[in-house]
Amino acid sequence: MFEMTGKRVLITGASSGFGAHFAVALAKQGADLVLAARRVEKLEQTAQAVRDLGREALVVPMDVADHASVEKAFADMPALDVVVNNAGITREGSTDRIDAEDWNAVIDTNLNGVWAVSKFAIQQWRRDERPGNLINIASILGLRVGAMLAPYTASKAAVVQLTQSIALDYARYNIRCNAICPGYFETDINREFFQGPHGAKLIKRIPYHRLGQIDELVGPLLLLASDASSYMSGAALPVDGAHLCNTL
């Protein structure tokens, strides 16, 4: 049911973190990959891990925050079956103190980048009269607010709404769109923070009393990427250890 053989998947932000992990997980299920990010040398490492599993991996330079870069990448893009909009960044700061550069960087990457990649993927599918499948990596902070993260929470909330808008507008073309909303997951970037006192306090508010592990995102990803979810579109799936269920 979760078989991906014969499907080609584009992953943005595939040079590290969730994106690199997703690439290997999908390759293990038989998918071929198109790996996109700004850091081509890092992409090559992910690509080699995919090839070691006997699957194809194409490396594509792409800055999702640059509309022209996305358009250029899609000019020679092979036929896609699934697109995972994974690229994302964050900046901390209160609304009155964050500067315009940081605000725009988050919005350009997390929202405008998702729109641009989705736009050109949909154009490809409609041109070729083929079905399509978009998976947006949003966040539980797009469903419920977090302190001092105004641009991030705003961008992820917008991604959830964009997911539903695409699902509604393109169902008639057999193009579906869903989102995964991860809670707090342990990564190389945040590990030090969560080992400190502020991180430990946050973990206590998670009903599971622990961070998620990246492998725990693979099941939801395979559900949405495969034909197992053929009648799902417009969903925003929290994967958060019941964090959203916590009391106010």
How much is the pLDDT for 94?
85
pLDDT (average), residues 38-66? 97
How much is the pLDDT for 188?
79
pLDDT above 90 for 76: yes
Q: What is the dihedral sign for C-alpha 152, 155, 158, 163?
A: negative
pLDDT (average), residues 101-106? 97
CATH 1.10.10.10 fits 8-237, yes or no: no
Q: Kindly report which listed range (13-27, 144-158, 169-183, 186-200) carries the lowest average pLDDT score.
A: 186-200
pLDDT > 90 in the chain, percent: 93
Task: Judge whether 152 counts as a catalytic residue.
Answer: yes
pLDDT (average), residues 7-32? 97
Cα 45 to Cα 33: distance, rounded to the nearest angstrom: 13
Q: Which amino acid is at 214?
A: I
pLDDT above 90 for 122: yes
Cα 62 to Cα 41: distance, rounded to the nearest angstrom: 13
3-state DSSP helix/strand/coil % of the chain, to nearest 5: 50, 15, 35
pLDDT above 80 for 236: yes
CA 223 to chain centre: 14
- Residue 102's pLDDT band, with cuts at 50, 70 and 90, is very high
pLDDT above 80 for 101: yes
Half-sphere exposure for 55 (CA within 13 Å, toward CB): 26
In the chain, where are the structural domains located? 8-237
The structure tokens listed for 222 are 């395979």
pTM as predicted: 0.97
Digit-coded pLDDT (tens) for 175-213: 999 999 999 998 877 889 899 999 999 999 999 999 999
- In the 8-state DSSP scheme, what is residue 168? H
Cα 180 to Cα 136: distance, rounded to the nearest angstrom: 6
How much is the pLDDT for 38?
95
From the list 152, 170, 173, 208, the catalytic residue is: 152
- Residue 67's pLDDT band, with cuts at 50, 70 and 90, is very high
Q: 32: which residues sit within 8 A by CB, 6+ positions away? A: 7, 8, 9, 55, 56, 57
pLDDT above 80 for 248: no
How much is the pLDDT for 247?
84
